[in-house]
Each structure stands twice: as C-alpha cells, then as structure tokens.
C-alpha cells in the first residue's frame, strides 16, 4: 500500500511539472510567433514600434527603446534586440552585394563599418549582450555572404 501511494505521488508530481513546463514553452512560442512572423517590410516605423510595445505589454514582457534600438525581454533574457532600420529592410532583399564591396571587409572591422560598406543585411542575429553575432547579405551570385562578429562587435570570420 505504501509503495503504490509513493508511485502515485511521483506520477502526480511529474504530471504537474510537465504541465508547467508545457505552459512555459507555449508562452515562449506564442510571443515568438507574434514577434517574428510580422512582415516588417509593410510596416512603418511608428506602427511597428507601437505593435511591439503592445505585444510586450500584453504578454508581460519588458519593453525598452533607446535611439533606434528596441529591446523586448523577460526575466533578464533578451528575446530580440534589433535596429529598426535593420528590421525595416524594404528594398535590401533585392540589393545584391558585389565582390568588390565584399573585398573591402577585413577582419577586425566593426559592425557599423561593415554596414556602411554593404548596406543593411538581409538577416542578422544578436547575442544576449545585444551585439550582432551574425549578419548575412545576398551576393551577385545569388548566394549568401555571412559575417561573424566577436563579443567586441568586431569581424572575426567571413564566409
């Protein structure tokens, strides 16, 4: 009788823990869906700003903005931190980067230097420290040119 009661307790505790884990994963995927599936190319600066502010408020996320950057975070971990100009890339998907421009990029260049030469990237991801870790551009050969940055916002690898 005592062993059955212990097994039932263990199974009950496991089910409760799985339930709470499921709720946590569901909340994360819900905010990611809302945030990442927005078509920024058809959105103005102001409407995107207020949409992100509303999303974060409705889902108990912390919303911060300074200069041209926005941060949405929960319990100290950044969900995304991105330059509005980088997100509002209306035309840069069709812009191709030439080999001549790519050759200008050297190891040790900063992200802003690379962005001045190549323009806004097609894709960029960031560290939790809010510095760009990876950025990619489309080349004339219809392939992607990727730049990897270190913790100090300097180019560490080119692909």
Neighbours of 45 (CB within 10 A): 13
Architecture of domain 90-159: 2-Layer Sandwich (3.30)
Per-residue model confidence (pLDDT) at position 149:
84
pLDDT in tens, the chain (159 residues): 566 778 888 888 888 888 877 766 655 555 556 555 665 555 666 777 777 777 777 766 777 776 666 666 665 554 444 454 444 443 445 557 888 888 888 989 988 888 888 877 777 776 656 666 787 777 776 677 888 888 777 888 888
- φ and ψ at 157, to 5 degrees? -155, 145
Per-residue model confidence (pLDDT) at position 157:
84
Sign, Cα dihedral of 124, 31, 77, 48: positive
Per-residue model confidence (pLDDT) at position 89:
44
Residue 103: its H or E element: helix 99-103
82: left (phi over 0), alpha (psi -120 to 50) or beta: beta
pTM of the model: 0.42
């Amino acid at each position: 009788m005592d062993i059955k009661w212990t097994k039932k307790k263990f199974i009950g505790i496991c089910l409760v823990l799985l339930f709470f884990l499921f709720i946590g994963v569901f909340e994360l995927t819900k905010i990611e869906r809302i945030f990442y599936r927005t078509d920024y190319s058809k959105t103005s600066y102001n409407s995107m700003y207020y949409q992100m502010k509303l999303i974060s408020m409705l889902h108990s996320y912390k919303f911060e903005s300074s200069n041209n950057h926005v941060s949405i975070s929960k319990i100290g971990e950044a969900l995304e931190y991105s330059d509005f100009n980088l997100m509002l890339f209306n035309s840069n998907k069709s812009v191709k980067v030439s080999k001549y421009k790519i050759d200008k990029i050297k190891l040790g260049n900063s992200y802003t230097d690379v962005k001045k030469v190549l323009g806004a990237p097609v894709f960029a991801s960031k560290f939790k420290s809010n510095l760009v870790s990876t950025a990619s551009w489309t080349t004339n050969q219809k392939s992607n040119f990727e730049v990897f940055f270190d913790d100090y916002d300097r180019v560490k690898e080119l692909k």
